[in-house]
Structure 1
Amino acid sequence: MIFQRVSAAFGAAAIGASLLFAPVPAAATTKIERVISPGGIEAWLVREPSVPLIAMEFSFKGGANQDPENKPGVSYMMAAALDEGAGDMDSKAFQARAERSAVEMSFRASRDEIRGTLKMLSSKQGEGFELLRLALNQPRFDQEPVERIRAQMLTALKRETTSPNEIGSRLWWRTAFPNHPYSLPTNGTLDSVPTITRDDLTAYAGAVLARDNLKVGVVGDIDAKTLGTMLDQVFGSLPAKAQLRPVKQVQPEAVGRRLEVQLDVPQTVVAFGGSGIPRKDPDFIPAFIVNHILGGGSFSSRLYSEVREKRGLAYSVYSYLLPLDAAALFMGGTQTRADKAEETVGLIEQEIKRLAENGPTLDELERAKSYIQGSYPLSFDTSTKIAAQLVQLQVDDLGIDYWERRNALIDAVTLDDVKRVARRLLNGGVLFTVVGRTQQASTAKHGG
């Protein structure tokens, strides 16, 4: 789960419509500049002076995998509290100052990263960058906002104890990655969240928010020289090096098993997952195509055809690749009627096996290539999306020219490639969790 909080009102008239939906160049014609600040901080910039706004996305490697042992939820709470007061301003004063300038700021934690977003009119860039500097360098973590955030987290966690999606997800991660940080939920547990202290938040921020694990993407009406100065202003006082604990590389365990949890809900929730392919692996692009054919292609996928179109067992069924820092995963899920859960799981297993054994057809390969190439520009239709993509390219270490090379990489994939990679990706088996009015209850406990 990812926590996000917007500092200023989302609907601020001066910025809302223009910033979130600003027209931007297509990816193929977008020029990316590598900017190095006087202090040595790097950012990737797409300059767009025709629209008077700036969107910044940034990432610190670390995330929930750096939470203190037996205390999940620290990174989540820290991210939520960063803009709840900084410097000499308490939470109300900080939020009021941001709102006066229509500055939007948010932070969120995932398993491997702390991410942040800053959005503002270019005429307010000085104020926006200063507020971000304060949030990152001088967060207050005052008692009132911390306790408010804690209460919100606990309320959400209590709701999750009756949510089939959350029960299944937590059971899957706990079973697949025992004794590993990935076994623990990003947003903590009902036991851990009450124990998190201000000292935990301060220690986490000091260890993770550093310059050497920072990636920055910027889009908008700002030149390279001005951005360089702002990078040093915002990030220059952070520690030079993060103090990150090593996270062991792992493969998901218990593949081939099915875990069932009885829960009296209208729909039975099915989740599944197994080993995937790392993002930097040469086989990732063929694997992406294979997954598109299996369950990532929405209305054109095999799972959609077999589970929904032919049999009407579910409204949606999907699969996706999830390359994490310490594990590469192949994941998916669906929801169905309790009396059809067994049939649905069987069909998913059947289609995974059939694709692994026989591979895609040439027609499926060509249609998947066309869709993947044609839909990619949708990832770049707003400034915020481009900024996020700039950061992701850096996190994945794909190179500043990846946008230009991507279509050729897809074109180069052959039928033999996808057949070989289908065997590699799908032959390892998957772990299923089934939560609802199942035919056979599991003895496994669930909840926070």
Structure 2
Amino acid sequence: MTACKCLLLLFLFLVTPVTSAAPPIERWQTASGVRVLFVESHALPIVDIQVDFAAGTAYENFAQAGIASLTRELVELGVAGMDETQIASRMADVGAQLSGEVDRDRASIILRTLSMGDKRRVAFELLRAILSTPQFPAAVFEREKARSLAALKEALTRPEALVKRAFWSAMYGSHPYGRHETTESLATLERADVLAFHAAHYTAPRARLAIVGDLSRAQAEAVAEELTAALATSPGMTAIAVPELPSSSEQRIAHPAVQAHLLLGLPALKRGDPDFFPLIVGNYTLGGGGFVSRLMKAVRDQRGFAYSVHSHFQPLAQLGPFEIGLQTKKEQAQDALAVTREVLASFLREGPSDEELLAAKQNLIGSFPLHLDSNREILRSVAVIGFYELPLDYLDRYSDNIEEVTLSDIKAAFARRVRPEHLVTVIVAGE
């Protein structure tokens, strides 16, 4: 091959865009029954691990609302042979980071560690102890309970917290997704309640493990076994009830804030539903596309009612919400609400235009690689796939599924999932 041809091939290699492909996901089950998803990546000397338990707020009973979050906080604040200070010190010594969160479906424990043998070994041992031998020290329990109570009392003074709580209650009523901790429910919690909740929900059949990073398959299998071997093998999974759709309603809550906070929505979408892709493509035009969305143009650009307005779907194990939200001046709340409802009604009748559909697809497909541009982002997606048992080719098929959506798909999906007779509205600080 001549030097000119070599240079030409090198030039073409450098200027030709590289197609972003979703990373391959491997799946297996540990001896204790925990389902594992693994993505091998040696780009960085890092391993990210997320353990999800079916232990979110939907699994609380009303009298103990708040126990899911309190249990998740306490689980890492003391293990056999080590208190919280020693755990934090050992994590810091090896450069590892521990975090976690609770939503309505899941309680998550997340670890990031360097992949070098001496570093990761310590981090994995600590995570194993957190999963298998949490101690829930009495003094730490009382401290965290008091902290939770103080945080709740402060939150109940803020309009953004009040509107969210009232909105979920209006959508779900007595369903577990409508449950919120109260000062009364938190105040009555005892350490024994946390121990019981942990024993019932932090078990192998209710756990899902996602591993992303600088390990081989054999190493990942060994880590998964080590982390989960001591988990109890029962109780198993329990299904969350299907929520009933609410009747259309409007609720106003007085508050001295200058800004009115508005939320509109209804239970609409569960994970794995075939309407997912038509709904997210259509929602880009309605209120998910930022400054190019219809809601933003009508509410902000044309009338100046709000700095921002959004709409989105939040799929859950059962029907999660479709939500439209905005803030506006108190005296403009009714007008802003009227315009918002008008835009939604128009979209439900007409759907997006051909031009809007094309723009939505281009943006959603073009931005998708950003959701896979780091170990953390990959971990987040893989954990969702594992917990909600989505297809292993979900990420590979994502762009194709977006591209295949048609205008009729969008109109039909919105007609099924966003029905005005079930739309609830909550306004905090409105007149």
TM-score computed with the length of structure 1 as normaliser: 0.88
Residues 59 and 214 in structure 1, CA contact (< 8 A), matched pair in contact too = yes
**Is 1:302–2:294 an aligned residue pair?**
yes
- The residue that corresponds to 1:414 in the other structure is 406
Which residue in 2 is equivalent to 1:313?
305
Is 1:63 the counterpart of 2:73? The answer is no
Select which of 314, 324, 338 maps to 2:330.
338
Distance verdict in 2 for CA 1:170–1:50, change over 3 Å: closer
Distance 1:26 1:79 in 2: 40
Q: Encode CA deviations 1:262-311: one digit per residue, 9 max, x unaligned.
A: 11112110011113133322222111111111111111111111111111
| Deviation of 1:315 (Å) | 1.0
**Alpha-carbon deviations, 1:36-65, whole Å to 9, x = none?**
446554322222223111111221123111
1:404 to 396, 401, 415: 396
Q: Report the alpha carbon displacement of residue 75 of structure 1 after superposing the two structures with TM.
A: 0.8
Q: What is the alpha-carbon distance in structure 2 between the residues aligned to residue 239 and residue 40 of structure 1?
A: 10
Q: Does 1:174 align with 2:169?
A: yes
Shift of 1:381: 1.7
How far apart are 1:356 and its partner, in Å? 0.7
Q: Give yes or no for contact 1:275–1:428 (8 Å, CA) kept in 2.
A: no
When normalised by structure 2's length, the TM-score is: 0.91
In 2, the alpha carbon distance for the partners of 1:325 and 1:42 equals: 17
| Structure 1: gaps (5+ residues) | 1-24, 440-448
Give the 3 Å change call, closer, same or farther, for CA 264–314 of structure 1 in structure 2: same
Whichever structure has more helix as a proportion of its residues is 2
Q: Residues 18-417 of structure 1 correspond to what in structure 2 (within 5 A)?
A: 28-37=21-30, 41-123=34-116, 124-185=119-180, 188-243=181-236, 245-255=238-248, 257-417=249-409
Per-residue Cα deviation, 1:20-51 (whole angstroms, up to 9, x for no partner) = xxxxx985152222344465543222222231
| CA–CA separation in structure 2 for the residues paired with 1:267 and 1:356 | 28
State the SS of the aligned residue for 2:428. strand
- What SS does structure 2 have at the residue aligned with 1:433? strand
Which residues of structure 2 form unaligned runs of 5+? 1-17
Aligned residues: 411
Alignment CA distance shift 1:258-1:39 (3 Å): closer
Partner SS state of residue 326, structure 2: strand
Change (3 A) 1:245 1:38: closer
CA distance in 2, matches of 1:150, 1:29: 42
Q: Does the 8 A contact of 2:365 with 2:399 survive in 1?
A: yes
Cα distance, 1:244 vs. partner?
Answer: 5.0
Distance in 2, matches of 1:138 and 1:181, equals 29
Whether the 8 Å CA contact 2:56–2:106 is kept in 1: the answer is yes
Return the alpha-carbon distance in structure 1 between the equivalents of residues 34 and 418 of structure 2: 41
What are the Cα deviations for residues 66-91 of structure 1, in whole angstroms up to 9, with x where unaligned?
A: 11341101110010111111011122
Contact kept, 8 Å, 1:172 with 1:431, in 2: the verdict is yes
Instruction: Please provide the CA RMSD for this pair.
Output: 1.8
Question: Percentage identity across aligned positions?
Answer: 27
- Equivalent position SS for 1:288: helix
- Choose 1 or 2 for highest CA Rg: 2
Offset from partner CA, 1:335-385 (integer Å, 9 cap, x none): 000111011111111011101111111111111111111111111122111
SS of 1:241's equivalent in the other structure is coil
**How big is the shift at 1:252?**
3.6
> Cα 1:171–1:41, aligned 2, differ >3 Å: closer, same or farther?
closer
How far did 1:413 drift? Answer: 1.2
